[in-house]
Structure 1
Amino acid sequence: MKRLKTIVITGFLAAGLFSCNYGDLNLNPNLPSTATLPSLLAGSEGVIAFTVGADMGQMTNTFTQHLSGIVLQAAAWDRYNVDAEAGSAFNTFYAGPMQDLSTLIQQAQGTQAKGYEGIGKILMAYSLGTMTSLYGDVPYSEAFKGAVNPYPKFDTQASIYTQIQTLLDEGIGLLKTADASNSPSSDDLIYKGNLPKWIAAAYTFKARYALHLTKADPEAASKALAALYDGATYRGIARNADDCDFVFGTGVSESNPWSQLVQQRNDFRLGKQFVDLLNTTPADPRLPVLAKPNAAGSYSGSAAGQGQAADSQIGPYFTTATTPVSLITYAEARFIEAEARLRVNGIDAQAETALKAAVSASVDKVTKGTVPAAELTAFASNRGTFTGDAANRLRQVITQKYIALFTQPEVWTDWRRTGYPALQPAFGGTNGLNPGGEIPRRLPVPLSERLNNPSAPKETPSVQAPRFYWDK
């Protein structure tokens, strides 16, 4: 995040809540002890969204070859040289929004503010899921205690996933019994206090984090479907309008992080792997909004580790100031359903239905509804009709999800647990953290934790080992 201007969202946040470097894991020096529930919630949502869209999304989308860096830090990331900023997301999340959410949950419990507490637990679950997907074992059970325990232990990743599901279940239960008197309204910058939308998002998060464990839990796919469906009744995010999105402002310092990136640095080009998929016949309607034509008027991407300034830049959808950062979406819910159904029953016809719906939702969102219905249906049928054996069907689902979730860290998790799409390591990717030059499978524990926290893992910093328990 230090690469971009600190976000300033006027009108609803006090100065200081969006500082990018909070310092110590268990102390937020910018947050007064009397912070209100509205300020804690709004501040947490804003920092989470900006961090996910800034270094976190940019680094992980370089690993997945959606992006290729041409200069400075972006070029270093393109060749897997990440130790200098690998801990940025960790430090920001733990000392910023996760500390704030812990405070929010405690204060909400003390005042019976069920709406705030429920949303806080859902956002904490999302934060834990995000952190563990980057770093593996992370603090939780002993974190956020300040001077009482300045050196929290790192909980095992398996226990973190159990805690994620517990937090989501508790959040759902609280929101089902909350009402307007103990819930946020406009201070909730994502759903404006719409509790049914938060509940649907929570069920979709449950499905996401269940599906993360496909290598570790033989029941993962069934659990994902059980989260999305109560019997035959669907209960996840049901349309694009209900996506868990944080919408940014129009000002230069209020705009979404991708817009700020291009205005301030413009040090990425699109990756060849990504552009080649968008260029597949028939033409993908998302191509002209996700990519900018090169000087020759065509679309091209850079090979990993070989970023070229002449290749296509990020297109107008993400560089528009008010484009949201998505935490989870309807399109992802349907991709999850498609994959889960295939894993449970490889001939389930509803898997193909879900895949087509996912592709349609992605196209409709980024093109802002400008693709005619008949054209959209035909394109979704082309991309979403299954061919080949079970392995090829899974490849189709994950490849289309890879396109649809451009800019989101979730695609790196999908690649690590499925191997799709097939990616070749970047040119020049060998370095001290990555002696074999392979595509990174984790981020190292941050240097600050390795130096200052005696409870931190002691393994040699690496972007390969130890593998996560769901990535064995």
Structure 2
Amino acid sequence: MNNIKKFAIGALVVVLGTVSGCKDDYFDINNNPNQATSAPPELVLPTALNATGTYFATNFPFLNLWMGYWNWSGNYSISQSDKNYQFTTTYFNDIWTDAYTRLKDYDFVEKQGAAASQPYLQAIAKVMKALHFQILVDTYGNVPYTGALKGATNLQPAYENGQAIYDNLMVQLDSALILINQGNARVNAGEESLNIGANDIMFQGDMGKWSRFTNTLKLRMLLRQSEKSDRQAYIQTELAKIKASNIGFLHEGENASVNPGYTNSTNRQSPFYGAFGYSVSGATVELNNQYRGNKYGIDFYTQTNDSRLGFFYSASSTGGAYRGTYFGDINTLVNSQTSGIGPGLLHSAEQDAVILSSHEAFFLQAEAAQRGWITGSAKTLYQTAITESYRNLDVQDDTGTPEEYAQEYYSQNIANVGWDASPNKIEAIITQKWASLNGFSPYEAWSDYRRLGLPAVPVSRDPSVTVRQIPVRLLYPQSEYSYNGTNVQAQGQISQFTTKVFWIK
């Protein structure tokens, strides 16, 4: 699988002038995970947050292929291993290595924040560590955890059970909420030194949003375990904590996204736009040409009269229609005959890097409400989630607003579109969640597919496919077998098809 180039972005003048080592690559303060940075934690924070935005924007394009959103272009010759799921331990390694590098950054912020009695910095670092460790567990199962961030003092950290890690992450998120409350109490008492302001490039120091983001992450982790009968009592215990907090979840318009000041200049474009959109000069980048529309996704939006079609995809240059081929087709169409990535995803070089969208947050709430886990109308939450998707894509023109187009869409008498027309409400929620995550977060679509088998995304059509199944996990990277061999070998023989993450039924 092609490695996507990484974008180190910077716009905060104070960071550029203060952080040691910032030369050609902005916000590049911790390339060596074993060498501690000397930068103040409040200046490392925006660097780490920006890198997390880049992590989610550029590390998972292959999942757009697996989940029916994108396909390869017929203009390119693609290796069989990219099309038949028979990848090796040398594939996708950046997902592992980048995550642990980010975790070192956040661990530094947490420790230094504690030393400086800065509870907000501690809390944010805890939340972001939990997010990255969750993705690692969801991707690989058992991973190094307790000993993973000790640098040179523990170069061969042991692997820990994925479920145990999940349980401890929930404890860490609870601790983050306590720290936020402590910080709030000090601010209310007149202490001004806790304001992190512009250094928080996600929520601009709004700790209420950080609290709601924390609860949203907790809800996502609990929903991951929805199909495990032995976890139901635990889930209810954790839900009781969420309800007792009276914090709620991310609101309408509250995207967990970062933006340090992206601009259309070299190394400063928004990472998704820079990877899949256009260069500073306006030329189409290679990956924009390489990834094209998938027929499965295009057909879904077309058949359900979805106005998002022209925002997820661009029309083909031949005939102006929206066209694509299935993942793995041997007769893949060339670029002029297919749809590219659309303007709703490639809005501008200044667009935010999304970590968790508001529409995903409302789909999580809709599913939880439908399961009876939280109060509220599942129907209202479902329709709000769809509306948020339209807003985030900016689906509007001279004849209608995002809200008007969304209402027109979900009012249709079509199963898995209109709430009342859908006999299986969970299927409707997950189907519409999948429809909203195109390009935004194929990782979450893959996770729902592994958990529930929804929607019925077709497997690769390549003739060399021998296991007709979308993989349930990735393989540990070759670096682990080379440098942490004893511990990774203790995990046994790993298969991308049968070695399941703990929450997969």
Compute the TM-score of the two structures, normalised by the length of structure 1: 0.89
Matched, 1:308 2:322: no
1:218, CA displacement in angstroms? 2.6
* Identity within the alignment, %: 21
Amino acid at match of 1:112: S
From 248, 257, 262, give the equivalent of 2:271.
257
Aligned to 1:157: 162
Deviation at 1:81, TM superposition (A): 4.5
Question: Does residue 1:87 correspond to 2:93, yes or no?
Answer: yes
- CA change 1:459–1:316 in 2 (3 A) is same
Aligned to 1:45: 49
Alignment partner for residue 422 of structure 1, among 456, 463, 474?
456
Structure 2 counterpart SS, 1:455:
helix
Distance verdict in 2 for CA 1:327–1:79, change over 3 Å? same
Tell me the distance in 2 between the aligned counterparts of 1:184 and 1:345. Answer: 34
> In 1, Cα distance between the equivalents of 2:161 and 2:389?
34
AA in 1 matched with 2:460: A
**Tell me, what secondary structure is at the counterpart of 2:371?**
helix
Asked if 1 retains the 8 angstrom alpha-carbon contact of 2:269 and 2:350, the reply is yes
CA contact (8 A) 1:386 1:396 kept: no
The Cα shift of 1:227 comes to 6.6
Aligned residue identity for 2:220: R
Q: Which residue of 2 aligns with 1:60?
A: 63
- Provide the rounded CA distance (Å) in 1 between the counterparts of 2:175 and 2:51: 23
Which amino acid letter does the alignment assign opposite residue 179 of structure 2? L
Displacement of 1:324 in angstroms is: 2.2
Aligned ranges 1:285-300 → 2 under 5 Å: 285-294=307-316, 295-300=318-323
* Distance across 1 between alignment mates of 2:77 and 2:274: 16
Q: CA deviation at 1:181?
A: 1.6
Q: Distance in 1 between matches of 2:44 and 2:409?
A: 43
Instruction: Kindly provide the CA deviation profile for residues 203-223 of structure 1, in whole angstroms up to 9, marking residues without a partner as x.
Output: 111111111111222357756
**Could you tell me which amino acid in structure 1 is paired with residue 4 of structure 2?**
R
Report how many residues are paired: 456
Q: Which one-letter code corresponds to 2:427 in the other structure?
A: R
- The aligned counterpart of 2:117 is 112
Deviates more, 1:352-361 or 1:366-375: 366-375
Q: Structure 1 pair 212/60, CA: closer, same or farther in 2 (3 Å)?
A: same
What letter is aligned with 1:210? L
Q: What code does the residue aligned with 2:497 have?
A: Q
Residues in 1 aligned to 2:79 and 2:410: alpha-carbon distance in whole angstroms: 33
Q: Are residues 1:212 and 2:224 paired? A: yes
Q: Secondary structure at the match of 1:317?
A: coil
1:253 offset after TM fit, Å?
Answer: 2.4
- The answer on 1:330 being equivalent to 2:358 is yes
CA distance in 2, matches of 1:447, 1:110: 36
Q: Helix, strand or coil: the match of 2:411?
A: helix
1:268 paired residue number: 291
Match of 2:370 among 342, 346, 358: 342
1:22 and 1:91 in contact (8 A); partners too: no
Which segment drifts farther, 126-135 or 68-77?
68-77
User: What is the CA–CA distance in structure 2 between the aligned matches of 1:2 and 1:21, rounded to whole Å?
Assistant: 20
Instruction: Give how far 1:230 is off.
Output: 4.3
User: Residues 381, 388 of structure 1: CA spacing in aligned structure 2 closer, same or farther, 3 A cutoff?
Assistant: closer
**RMSD of equivalent CA atoms:** 2.7
2:487 is matched with: 455
Letter in 2 for 1:415: Y
How far, CA to CA, are the matches of 1:367 and 1:100 in structure 2? Answer: 34
Contact 2:34-2:152 at 8 Å conserved across structures: no
Q: 1:6 and 2:7 equivalent? A: yes
The whole-number CA distance in structure 1 between the counterparts of 2:239 and 2:143 is: 27
For 1:91 and 1:365, the matched residues in 2 are separated by 30
Match of 2:431 in 1: 399
- Match of residue 203, structure 1, among 215, 222, 228: 215
Distance apart, 1:78 and its partner CA: 4.0
Contact 1:269-1:308 at 8 Å conserved across structures? no
Alpha-carbon displacement from aligned partner over 1:258-293 (angstroms, at most 9, x marks no partner): 322333312111222211121124x32211111100
Shift in Å, 1:123: 0.6
By how many angstroms is 1:236 displaced? 0.6
Structure 1 residue aligned with 2:410:
380
Quote the offset at 1:330 in angstroms.
Answer: 2.4
* Structure 2 residue matching 1:269: 3-state secondary structure: strand
Match of residue 278 from structure 1: 301
Output the amino acid matched with 1:361: E
Distance 1:429 1:97 in 2: 39
Which AA in structure 2 matches 1:360? T
Structure 1 distance, partners of 2:122, 2:58, is 27
Counterpart residue type for residue 251 of structure 1: S
Deviation at 1:416, TM superposition (A): 0.5
Offset at residue 340 of structure 1 (A): 1.7
Q: Following superposition of structure 1 onto structure 2, how do residues 403-414 of structure 1 map, counting pairs within 5 Å?
A: 403-407=435-439, 408=441, 409-414=443-448
Does the C-alpha gap of structure 1 residues 368 and 116 become closer, same or farther in structure 2, counting only changes over 3 Å? Answer: farther
Where 1:459 maps in the other structure, the secondary structure is coil
Q: Does 1:187 align with 2:199?
A: yes
- Residue 378 and residue 92 in structure 1: after superposition, are their counterparts in 2 closer, same or farther (change >3 A)? same
**Deviation string, structure 1 residues 439-465 (Cα, Å, up to 9, x no partner):** 111000111002210212443343213
Q: Determine helix, strand or coil for the equivalent of 1:316.
A: coil
